[in-house]
Amino acid sequence: MTRRIETLARSANARLRYRAQPGWMAPMLATLVETPPKTAGWVYEPKLDGVRVLVYTNGGNVRLFSRNRKPLDGAYPELVDALSFAVRGDAVLDGEVVAVDPSTGQSSFSRLQRRMQLRDELKARASSGDVPVELYLFDCLFYEGIDLTGLPLVDRKAVLRDVVWYDDPIRFTPFRTTGSAAMFREACAKGAEGIIAKRAESRYVSARSTEWLKIKCVHQQEFVVGGFTAPKGSRENLGALLVGYYEHGALKYAGKVGTGYDRATLEMLSRRLAPLARRTSPFAPGPAPAGEVQWVTPRLVVEIGFGEWTPAGLLRHPRYLGIREDKSAAEVRREQ
């Protein structure tokens, strides 16, 4: 037990629970808002453009899971290796895997896609030199038989800093307690995705919460693919993805995404969508695309960047960014 844990055990016994390490602790999710909070009592972190990862260390073994509990050990073997030395004890940690674009110095979801598609450890190790990844840790849910979710965020962060040895590629996520407006402006000026605001006294809950907020510089979210148009000109495999989101149990059409692809991506998407082909539209009645369309069963989730929502409820200037393996189609809603 670390000194920090011993101090917390004496001062916060009522909020500490002693139990065996759980097999799964679902992640806490942030709520989208337009502007940072103006009141005191918040901490602010950079919003990283990567993929959420839950880290489980037990008896020297390290396991990585996505937010929907898919194993990620084989995708990021270098992180498993680093964590096996870096984490001092049995723990459950929360963080984000990112790939940094060397031209901008910012995390890039599009760049990370080249690693996210790999599940074979040998292939992932071979590609790690071309697309290196880093793990930014920002929370500690469990440590050495103690459930920390009932503690305030600031105490959990203190434990996290204490129980991990931080060295490349494992990093402690920096945070501020003041200057949120300036931090947000700086993030947007650098082309970053935005910032995350977390109430300093917030407890960790396995659900979406207004105790954690996300403020985005750019419009970007997940959508479900419901079909695609035929290719035109020199393009092969498909023309544009037809995407939507769920509202009251129905898949609502959001628009046609025709940019952001290279040849390899078009081939991969065509291969993924072929088994999902169907004759009828999966979208609810409403605006529909014109031209030759191949409908698909709505299972594939993709990340899309866009300019804004039109008054008709469609995406303006959408661009494909990548596939989201860590979210199910049924979860996808329009972010408000």
Among all residues, which ones are annotated catalytic?
47
d(CA 149, CA 142) in angstroms, rounded, equals 7
The tokens describing 67, both together, are 């937010």
Non-local CB neighbours of 158 within 8 Å, separated by 6+ positions: 4
For residue 100, the 8-state DSSP code is: B
| Helix, strand, coil fractions of the chain, as percent rounded to 5 | 20, 35, 45
Residue type, 219: H
CA-angle at 33, arms to 31 and 39, nearest 5°: 100
For residue 193, the 8-state DSSP code is: -
For residue 325, the 8-state DSSP code is: T
Among 267, 272, 130, 101, residue whose Cα is nearest residue 190: 101
The tokens describing 263, both together, are 């040849």
Whether the bond into 169 is cis, omega within 30 of 0 = yes
Contact 53, 95 (CB under 8 A): yes
Q: Are strands 194-199 and 146-147 parallel, antiparallel or unpaired?
A: unpaired
Tally of CB atoms within 10 A around 336: 7
Contact 145, 89 (CB under 8 A): no
Reduced to 3 states, what is the DSSP secondary structure of residue 4?
helix
Reduced to 3 states, what is the DSSP secondary structure of residue 8?
helix
d(CA 215, CA 260) in angstroms, rounded, equals 24
Greatest extent of the chain over all pairs of C-alpha atoms, in Å:
70
